[in-house]
Amino acid sequence: MKEKIQKYRFAFEELVSRDFKTKYKRSVLGMGWSMLQPLLLLIIMRLVFTQFFGRTMEHYTTYLFCGNLIFSYFNESTTQGMQALMANAHIFTKVNVPKYLFLLSKNVQTLINFGLTLIIFFIMCIFDGITFTWKFIFLIIPIVFLLLFNLGMGLILSALYVFFRDMQYLWRIMLQLLMYMSAIFYNVDSFANPKIFYLNPVYTFILYFRRIVIHAEIPGVIHTGIMIFYSLAALGIGCLMYKKFNHKFLYYV
């Protein structure tokens, strides 16, 4: 395994570098957009939704930012991951390289973008009067498992996209549904059965973040177990699909 990693290390680093250069090509602010874009979106959402949902909610700005931060990372990672194979078909049809490298490079790029946005998030928490506690260390748990979940979904979507080009349109619709079901700008306590939101994997990550940051409490074993289940299930299914269709990809790209 170690020899395999060393063998393709250069190729992986070049893919990551290429993805960054492509994304920020001819951009004046470059990587600055990774921090400015979510901040501008947060300001817009706060202006729009505060009048409807945030009047009686404490730390509503942080509440909004938590939801937008997690969902934006999920959105960017899975959307770019879905096209990872097709966008690099000209490479793996000519050179024998592991196809998952293209997906991994996309996830490294989106993870770095997420990290930059996280810095802005912590700064906004200070302005919103959030008290930083030692429990913030546990934020690493939802971040790690969200990364695994994004990888798994990327594997699944990129495999399906090779065979069904309509996946790009279906996924856009699905993302809209997931966004509205993620309670980004509203509180689920007003619903008769709030537990139904646990059917949305993204919501479990958002809620984990909010409980630690806003309420200074560590979610229980059941919540953590549900989050881990979604992550490992997505990753397991994605790996199986890549293993099963590894050679078939060449005939459909």
- Round to whole Å and give the CA distance between 149 and 21: 26
The SS3 assignment for 248 reads coil
Domain hosting residue 197, numbered range = 2-23+30-252
Count how many domains the chain has.
Answer: 1
Structure token digits, residue 164: 């069904």
How confident is residue 18, by pLDDT bands cut at 50, 70 and 90? low
Task: Name the helix (H) or strand (E) containing 108.
Answer: helix 100-127
pLDDT for res 73: 93
Task: Look at 252 and 175; give whichever has higher pLDDT.
Answer: 175
Maximum average pLDDT range among 3-7, 172-176, 182-186, 249-253: 172-176
Mean pLDDT, the chain, rounded, equals 84
pLDDT for residue 154: 94
**What's the pTM?**
0.87
Q: What are 126-168's pLDDT values in tens digits? A: 988 999 999 999 999 999 999 999 999 999 999 999 898 889 9
Mean pLDDT of 186-202: 89
Is residue 7's pLDDT more than 70? no
